[in-house]
Structure 1
């Protein structure tokens, strides 16, 4: 086995303060069901996920503090792990001493990114530790197909981290697929679709209600009510919600309307589905179109989860089903399904790599995955084939 990085001297936090612990990360192979070699435009022989485990000198496994210090040291070397993410899309860390939400939070913060504030959240994610919440808690029978995180809103995270606290024995895998490869394949096989997306973008319509719309979904207050307090009258609550929407800073490209006696809010965003990676400038298909298609055609899913998002071309015309079906077919060919082990951490570059969730057997609580979302130093860039200020995403204002 090859050592991925030079080992780093890290002070061992133990009763014997004179000892030091040497910690590094060693790359190792996974079964082909869990890991694959990426196609163009990725560099030759690039795998996803890049699987890493601690490499220590001595008999003892690394402490949590040593692992955290090593991640910080690597990131201080010109963003070493961030560069690996830009190449591989997803990193797997296995064998780290993580046993709780707080442990996971420490590891996640070690990467040095800025915590992502979700404005317009569509799922319920109560905070469990600093910048750590449950992943999507929809019923276990529901398939959540491959997607980039938050493609239906203007403000999406650049990095996503998942920690497996409890691994199911049957199913429950997390998919990994390259959005760069998806764009390349779609451009070759359905070029007219890519050309239309480049020209018009997408129009995303998201419905929010005062009450939860489906199991695991968010309420209007969770989505936009961070400033709402008990005692606010109806007009004040409405104004505070609208002030949060304005933080998107999208002007005419984000509009909204209230219906149902102000119990329902409908937002419409004009967004780019093709974006460029801020470090490589490679185009990526940043979308959940295949996931929306899968949910639409699967009768069982229609019964289990209400569809609150509708996506059209940016000019308001429907996207033909044949293109959505083709995206799903390509995604099935290029994805792998990560089989969780307790303690695993998956780190995604959300601009490059799509994730999701497979159904699982047993009880709902047999699969416990926590999530942490982060902003990078730069947002994705504007694709050269897209014209207009709608095609550039920005970080939400403070």
Structure 2
């Protein structure tokens, strides 16, 4: 049992179908992945009691230690979360610093303090395994998700498996890093990556700005994390990011595969966008990731990485009020299609010192700016 207030006001672990062993996923220890917690005994916490209990776990260091032991993910079930504001209060109880997004591919809507919709793309379309903002020099350390309305239907592992099955691929990734290109159109489109130029980089644009001012403001935001960008005749904008993907998880002392290679490849295949200009059947652009020097990544390795990521997944059937805490530097996440109404909310959080780089990665990052938004 994990207790913080009293024996009657504590969380206890439970199991659910599909959980995996951390050892099987490449961790040195053997524990359930993810850790699943619920109120113990007959405790039916109020919202404030839930907040106080999680604050106690966080301040005592138990959240961090439990996340490390259980592969970087914890599920809290049975909390009385019914609104975005409820979720905001619980999410802030973890004690992390709020992360400000730079360059936002998915559509999101702010619903409460630091709380947004997870992704407003079509429900029938999947999202493949990825790390949040793994393509950028500016990325969150932690993620929290919560289910408010559930539907009718519903990296460490990757690094370890690739090292065993394709060591030459890992060596090349370590040396060269990965090049991602995101192309943003003028208009929003019905896609899981359908953010427009202004949706991604128009945070400082205001009504009345002329075209020159808009472009200048957009470019200033882009340059927070990339100097490599290009405007197209149709008004769309391509932004290139070259970042390491074989990295160090400093707290775990393990090598982590941190990036969006698998999701970018899965998306390009799904939308039949595997040839230039990578315009998909959804009307959005889905360029294929390349090695950092611009050479193509072999299809066999892209397929292998995606297969390993998908095989390592734990499928969670949401229940109302669920809160999931994810170490973004250790765990990838994805989304399956669903039918009916669903509201899953997300919050992104910062913590310094969790992710590091090998010498090759440090060299790759020398040409990639990192100017986060500080609030």
SS at 1:353's partner residue? coil
Identify if the C-alpha distance between structure 1 residues 332 and 305 changes in structure 2 by more than 3 Å, giving closer, same or farther.
farther
Judged with a 3 Å threshold, the aligned counterparts in structure 2 of structure 1 residues 98 and 61 are, in CA distance, closer, same or farther, namely same
Distance verdict in 2 for CA 1:382–1:374, change over 3 Å:
same
Deviation of 1:150 after TM superposition, in Å, equals 1.4
Give the C-alpha shift of residue 304 in structure 1: 4.3
- Deviation string for 1:303-326 (max 9, x for gaps)? 347344431100100101100111
Q: Which runs of 5+ in 2 are unaligned?
A: 274-279
Residues 1:313 and 1:347: Cα distance change in structure 2 (over 3 Å):
same
In the aligned structure 2, how far is the partner of 1:395 from the partner of 1:378? 16
Provide the C-alpha distance between the structure 2 equivalents of 1:305 and 1:378, rounded to a whole number of angstroms: 39
2:159 to 183, 195, 204: 183
Query: Does the C-alpha gap of structure 1 residues 256 and 296 become closer, same or farther in structure 2, counting only changes over 3 Å?
Result: closer
Of the candidates 266, 270, 294, which is equivalent to residue 242 of structure 2? 270
Question: TM-score, normalised on structure 2?
Answer: 0.90
> Could you tell me how far 1:394 is from its partner in structure 2?
4.9
Displacement, 1:117? Answer: 0.9
* Aligned counterpart in structure 2 of residue 242 of structure 1, from 219, 224, 241: 219
SS at match of 2:3: coil
Aligned-partner Cα distance in 2 for 1:334–1:394: 31
Q: Does 1:256 align with 2:241?
A: no
Which residue in the other structure is 1:100 paired with? 83
Structure 1 residues 274 and 6, CA gap change in structure 2 (3 angstroms): same
Alignment of 1:7-18 (within 5 A): 7-9=4-6
1:208 is aligned to 2:208: no
In the superposition, relative to structure 1, how do residues 205 and 134 fare at CA in structure 2: closer, same or farther (>3 Å)? same
Residue deviations 1:174-216 (CA, integer Å, cap 9, x gap): xxxxx01110110110111101100000111111122114345
Equivalent-residue separation in structure 2 for 1:332 and 1:343 (angstroms): 26
- Distance (whole Å) between structure 2 residues aligned to residue 310 and residue 203 of structure 1: 9
Partner of 1:80: 62
Corresponding residue pairs, total? 364
Please say if residues 242 and 364 of structure 2, whose CA atoms lie closer than 8 Å, have aligned partners that are also in contact. no
Report the counterpart of residue 28 of structure 2 in structure 1.
43
Q: Which residue of 2 aligns with 1:288?
A: 260
Offset from partner CA, 1:83-107 (integer Å, 9 cap, x none): 2223321110000111110000001
Contact 1:142 1:304 in 2 (8 A): no
State the alpha-carbon separation in 2 of the partners of residues 29 and 113 from structure 1: 27
**Alpha-carbon separation, structure 1, partners of 2:256 and 2:314:** 18
Matches of residues 114-153 of structure 1 in structure 2 within 5 Å?
114-153=97-136
> Which residue does the alignment assign to 1:90?
73
- Kept in 2: contact 1:152–1:206 (CA 8 A): no
Decide whether aligned partners of structure 1 residues 305 and 74 sit closer, same or farther in structure 2, where only a CA change above 3 A counts. farther
Q: Find the residue that maps to 1:165 and give its secondary structure.
A: strand
Cα displacement string for residues 323-380 of structure 1 (whole angstroms, at most 9, x for unaligned residues): 011112222322221111111111110111111111123x3xx222111111113351
CA RMSD between the two structures: 2.2
Q: Which residue of 2 aligns with 1:226?
A: 203
Q: Secondary structure at the match of 1:338?
A: coil
Of 14, 18, 27, the match for 1:28: 14
Distance 2:296 2:120 in 1: 30
> 1:371 maps to what in 2?
346
Deviations 1:95-148 (A, max 9, x none): 011111000000100011111111100111110001111111211211111111
TM-score (norm 1): 0.85
Match of 1:349 in 2: 327
C-alpha distance in structure 2 between counterparts of 1:333 and 1:397, whole Å: 36
